[in-house]
Structure 1
Amino acid sequence: MSTNTGVSNEDALTLTKDQRKRVRARSWRLLASLAAKQKPMLVLTLVLVVISNAARAAFPLLIAWAIDWGLPQVTSGNVAALGITGGAYVLCAILAGTLLGWYILCTARMSQAMLLDLRLKVFRHTQRLSLEFHENYTSGRIISRQTSDLETLRELLDQGISELVSSGVFVVFTLLSIFLLDWRSGFLVMIAAIPISLLFAWYQHRSEVVYRESRVVSARLIGSFVETMTGIRAVKAFRKEKANDASYGKVAAEFRDNSIRSINLFGVLQPGLVLIGNLAVAAVLAWGGFRILDGTLAVGVLVALLLATKRVFQPVEGIAMFYSSLQAATAALEKVSGLLEEAPSVVEPEKPRPLGDVAGALRFSNAVFGYGDGPVIMDRFDLDIPAGQTIAVVGQTGAGKSTLAKLIARFYDLRSGSLTLDSVPIEQIGNDDLRRHVVMVTQESFLFSGTVSENIALGKPGASIEEIILAARAVGAHEFITALPEGYDTDVNKRGGRVSSGQRQLISFARAFLADPAVLILDEATSSLDIPSERAVQRGLQTLLGNRTALIIAHRLSTVQIADRVLVVHDGKIVEDGSPAELIGSQGRFAALHKAWRESLV
């Protein structure tokens, strides 16, 4: 799925130069938008960093003043000069230390506020994205965005940016102090900027590629781990430990090799900067020494120049270290900004049409559907489902049964044609209204961490325990729930690990029935149930469906017996439509399926 910039989020290694510029601009716009919310704190930190580094940069000037003016004054009997120069130095030291500490505290608070904002933004946006996105974008990659990438950004914002800004301001002020002391020596030091710029350009060009690769490999590493751990039962059942070890080891080795390449690049950058800095100090010393001999430079000034030149290159080495973090964070920021650029394929209407009492009548007219930009799955079909009717949808695997359910739940939109609920186009109905009146129970029957009652109450937030128990009784779940260690207060643990798959399905049924929707969709929702549980659910369905519109998708034809009407789907088309009795007598596809099912029971 492409982003609004027209650049795929995972194609960072194959981008053209213009695309790379757009991605980088998009990333920095995101960072700027986060910083804009911290404007007062940002202004304060800028003031603090300027004053504190101006005070720090004044130390060489004070030393030159103390040597060339203070010492002659003291030797001539003016002892107060020592107090004046020493007091000025102590005052600058206190000012620099205090304001620098305040600056670090402010930047820490600002960075944490920005990270919190970004973390919540990523979480909310990921939830808002359509099902199509989540079916294409693996959970491992999403987890990587929320964990590894944001952690890389945290390291940069907590330390990197504050150090980069502080070091950069300090370098500027120190260079100014050198020019104030002796402009000729200032130009000599500035010559060192040429090889430094070339070295940084060399590093940036190569490190961009390495760090982009790092984010991709990191996401694959996390994705491989998450997939293995979430599917650990299948791993053990099919003895895939060795195969998984080999595949995970391969990705881990790629990550190691990538890390080594980044370390090697930095291993050239930092020693190169140290070498350039030492050569610059040596040049200032030689140049200044000759000028002292001919009387054109004072001793105090030379001492201050050497100190300032040494100090100007110390932050440059720090900048190099944090520049490495910046490159890693920039690559992470590109991934995060790419995720935030993803747009939902199913869009909330700007002015949703309110729904009153919903009967549940559904109608497809001349409907055409295909996933994404892929081929058409269901082509120009019409379907009318009156309110209160129970429809069973059967057919071979991949025929389009679940697609029909996803369209009614508006997980996807039609390419053309229309789908209405009580004559209102479904794309004009607000999500809150739609989710309240259309509820879907899937084969997965996902349970969230929490108690049984909390999971059932998801269907109706704020429901009383009496309502929860009534819903559980209706679907035949009450007996096994009360047999649990703490009954309805039993914690189901991660993904419902303390209950069986059939019990999880019954809990999800109770959740759906508590919601009391106008339209209920069961997408192969009885597939995990044993025969006694299935019969209990069927009894509950017969009691509770009442005037509710129901769409039941099932391979088990026992579920079809309670339906008013059966749709047989084949290759994306509705090929048979009628009551169960009519279709059994027609000798068509449903009759063949029904015969095979009857024979399987013998």
Structure 2
Amino acid sequence: MARNRFDIDENLESPFDIKHFRRAMIYIRRQQKPMIIAFVLSALSAAISLSAPLIMQHVIDVTIPAKDALPLVGWSALLLVTIVVSVYLATIRSRMMTRVGQDIIFDIRSDLFRHLQQLPFKYYDDRPQGKILIRVVNYVNSVSDVLSNGIINFILEIVNLIFIAIFMFAVDVRLSFVILAGLPVFLSIMLLIKNKQRRAWQAVSNKSSNLNAYLQESISGIRVTQIFSRESHNEGIFTRLATNFRKEWITAVGFNTLIPFTVDNLATLVTTSIYLVGLLALNPADVTFGVIIAMSSYAARFWQPILNLSQLYNNFINAVAYLERIFETLDEPVTVNDVPDAKELPPIEGHVTFDDVTFAYDPGINILENLSFDIKAGESIALVGPTGAGKTTVVNLISRFYNLTGGKILIDGHNISQVTLKSLRSQMGIMLQDSFIFSGTILENIRYGRLDATEEEIIAAAKAVCADEFIREFEQGYQTEVNERGSKLSQGQRQLISFARTLLADPRILILDEATSSIDAKTERLLQQGLNELLKGRTSFIIAHRLSTVKNCDRIMYVSDKGIAECGSHDELMARRGLYYRLYTAQKMEA
């Protein structure tokens, strides 16, 4: 549970290796055709541009000494053509790779979102939302260029180096070795900083994730922050997290800038050496001024791909840190999933059996132990008891949001672990404590769980839970736009809309977790009238701290000490004068 904090770095469960990058090639291969075309265009552009120094050498050594203006104009025009064609081909390639990069982003992000939709509740229990969000948005953006332009550019720069080397040695072998003399120094520096650079960018990834997690948490809880005047204190926390991020970023960028700094200085030294060797050490008869100019141009061109490769290496090291996080998420096991031979759950009556059920969120800390009970189809069951006793856990297990530690749960005799999740949950109506409202219209929110519902059916469900009246008071009625989490609605209104959404699905098993906790007494009485009809013929589990709302349930189960401490009707439990009696009496006295 330590990861469920914004100020704790996430340690990778597995280090990066080359298998991860080969795995990333799956997304690259999907864009194979446009990438090949882009590579061909890049190669043509590079080859054409490499002819420029040869043209310049010929002009300096032959055309200008001949003092013939017409050939000079021709060679100048040819030089201009090479520049224009090279730029044009590079532009087409750039546009193609922009689309390829966006397609790769789309594929990775779609896979991440699809996987996140399948992960169990426990995954989200253990992580701040901000640390999940940053992987889907920021990290995917960060790796897309490496997986598209980076691959092509890497191959292209290698080809460029080969071409440049061929041209260099064709012009002058001795000066070519002068140009190559700086390579051992460059490679030594690269090897020295490689591991430190990767660790530095992993640290940046951690601090960025922490900062994003706290920012998301602060925005979600802004009302509580302002109520308790925590602005200054929270600003201090944010400053600390932002300072940590800035510190790690500066360290990582320091390693990045070391490489181009090295390349630039080596290129300058090599170019200076060409002039020194060419003018002072070699025979002027063998090395003309045009050859020196051409070789100095090739030296700049030779070290430019080296610089580009070093930048690609920097980007790759950065991307490695993000790929590790992305693949860690994609590799997160879907522990609550259909078993290989899972069957469709047929239409149910609603007979629920807990058979020796044991459950723990964390290993060794059982919330429920050896719990057994049998609920007949159509019964209404209230779950009451102290906070944290396991009431919500019981209904979560019926819906199979978590896997059991031991025992089994049967619905109409079918083990729910052996049926498909969709066929199980589609026959349940579940309203959890958090009445989540999605951005969109009120009508779309009610229809969320049953997309084929007609407007008449939606209105009927809203009327049944007493939501129709307040909905029609809005100027746009059911077409009223609401914000994410329903910030423009009262808590009671959000719960009524969520209740209508649940009832519209016409479930055989109805689960209500504190469904009426934020509804005023008058609305609750009206709602109870509709519920009495809707609960007929359905198995229902109702969690409520306000015991007056569950007096009429067929059975009341008092959840305590990892099991059911008491079970019976309201009158039976009151007659026993046990735990339920004391709880009910205490509430009556408080009222």
TM above 0.5:
yes
2:535 aligns with: 545
2:456 aligns with: 466
2:212 aligns with: 222
Tell whether the 8 Å contact from 2:356 to 2:370 is kept in structure 1 after alignment.
yes
1:369 equivalent in alignment to 2:362 = no
Q: CA deviation at 1:70?
A: 5.6
Q: CA deviation at 1:66?
A: 4.7
Alignment of 1:306-325 (within 5 A): 306-325=296-315
2:438 aligns with: 448
2:590 aligns with: 600
Tell whether the 8 Å contact from 1:55 to 1:92 is kept in structure 2 after alignment.
yes
2:548 aligns with: 558
Structure 1 residues 374 and 218, CA gap change in structure 2 (3 angstroms): farther
Alignment of 1:265-280 (within 5 A): 265-280=255-270
1:415 aligns with: 405
Q: CA deviation at 1:85?
A: 5.5
Q: Which of 31, 41, 54 is 2:24 aligned to?
A: 31
Tell whether the 8 Å contact from 1:144 to 1:219 is kept in structure 2 after alignment.
yes
1:493 equivalent in alignment to 2:486 = no
Equivalents in 2 of 1:467, 1:108: separation in Å? 47
Q: Which moved more, 1:234-243 or 1:424-433?
A: 424-433
Q: Secondary structure at the match of 1:171?
A: helix
2:5 aligns with: none
- Residue 370 of structure 1 aligns with an amino acid whose one-letter code is A
Q: Which moved more, 1:217-226 or 1:294-303?
A: 294-303
Tell whether the 8 Å contact from 1:112 to 1:158 is kept in structure 2 after alignment.
no
Q: Secondary structure at the match of 2:481?
A: coil
Q: Which of 287, 291, 297 is 1:301 aligned to?
A: 291
Q: CA deviation at 1:156?
A: 4.6
Per-residue CA deviation, residues 325-370 of structure 1 (Å, 9 max, x unaligned), is 3332322222112111112110123343123321111112122211
Q: Which of 35, 47, 66 is 1:42 aligned to?
A: 35
Q: Which moved more, 1:214-223 or 1:119-128?
A: 119-128
Equivalents in 2 of 1:513, 1:26: separation in Å? 48
1:572 equivalent in alignment to 2:565 = no
2:107 aligns with: 117
Equivalents in 2 of 1:549, 1:594: separation in Å? 24
Query: How many residues of Structure 1 are paired with residues of Structure 2 in the alignment?
Result: 586
1:138 equivalent in alignment to 2:131 = no
2:578 aligns with: 588
1:286 equivalent in alignment to 2:271 = no
Q: CA deviation at 1:372?
A: 4.4
Q: Which moved more, 1:443-452 or 1:298-307?
A: 298-307
Equivalents in 2 of 1:154, 1:54: separation in Å? 27
- Residue 390 of structure 2 aligns with an amino acid whose one-letter code is G
Q: Which of 37, 42, 57 is 1:64 aligned to?
A: 57
- Residue 222 of structure 1 aligns with an amino acid whose one-letter code is N
Structure 1 residues 165 and 373, CA gap change in structure 2 (3 angstroms): farther
Tell whether the 8 Å contact from 2:467 to 2:497 is kept in structure 1 after alignment.
yes
Equivalents in 2 of 1:523, 1:429: separation in Å? 24
1:393 aligns with: 383
Tell whether the 8 Å contact from 1:132 to 1:345 is kept in structure 2 after alignment.
no
Note the residue ranges of structure 2 that are not aligned, 5 or more in a row: 3-7
Equivalents in 1 of 2:150, 2:113: separation in Å? 25
1:5 aligns with: none
- Residue 329 of structure 1 aligns with an amino acid whose one-letter code is A
Tell whether the 8 Å contact from 2:345 to 2:420 is kept in structure 1 after alignment.
no
Q: CA deviation at 1:573?
A: 1.1
Equivalents in 1 of 2:35, 2:207: separation in Å? 34
Tell whether the 8 Å contact from 1:459 to 1:513 is kept in structure 2 after alignment.
no
Q: Which moved more, 1:534-543 or 1:312-321?
A: 312-321
Q: CA deviation at 1:270?
A: 2.5
Q: Which moved more, 1:34-43 or 1:531-540?
A: 531-540
- Residue 415 of structure 2 aligns with an amino acid whose one-letter code is P
Equivalents in 2 of 1:439, 1:487: separation in Å? 25
Tell whether the 8 Å contact from 2:45 to 2:90 is kept in structure 1 after alignment.
yes
Q: Secondary structure at the match of 2:201?
A: helix
Q: Which moved more, 1:273-282 or 1:47-56?
A: 47-56
Note the residue ranges of structure 1 that are not aligned, 5 or more in a row: 3-7
Q: Secondary structure at the match of 1:142?
A: helix
Q: CA deviation at 1:404?
A: 0.6
Tell whether the 8 Å contact from 2:38 to 2:96 is kept in structure 1 after alignment.
yes
1:434 equivalent in alignment to 2:427 = no
Q: Secondary structure at the match of 2:482?
A: coil
1:11 aligns with: 11
Q: CA deviation at 1:52?
A: 2.0
Q: Secondary structure at the match of 2:361?
A: coil
Q: CA deviation at 1:121?
A: 1.7
Tell whether the 8 Å contact from 1:221 to 1:251 is kept in structure 2 after alignment.
yes
> TM-score normalised to the size of structure 2?
0.92
Equivalents in 1 of 2:329, 2:359: separation in Å? 26
Q: Secondary structure at the match of 1:399?
A: coil
Q: Secondary structure at the match of 1:282?
A: helix
Per-residue CA deviation, residues 79-106 of structure 1 (Å, 9 max, x unaligned), is 9976885676455434423322222122
Q: Which moved more, 1:153-162 or 1:290-299?
A: 153-162
Q: CA deviation at 1:519?
A: 0.7
Q: Secondary structure at the match of 1:377?
A: strand
1:237 equivalent in alignment to 2:227 = yes
- Residue 60 of structure 1 aligns with an amino acid whose one-letter code is P
Q: CA deviation at 1:196?
A: 1.0
Equivalents in 2 of 1:27, 1:287: separation in Å? 47
- Residue 29 of structure 2 aligns with an amino acid whose one-letter code is A
Equivalents in 2 of 1:351, 1:439: separation in Å? 25
Tell whether the 8 Å contact from 2:204 to 2:252 is kept in structure 1 after alignment.
no
1:183 aligns with: 173
Q: Secondary structure at the match of 2:457?
A: helix
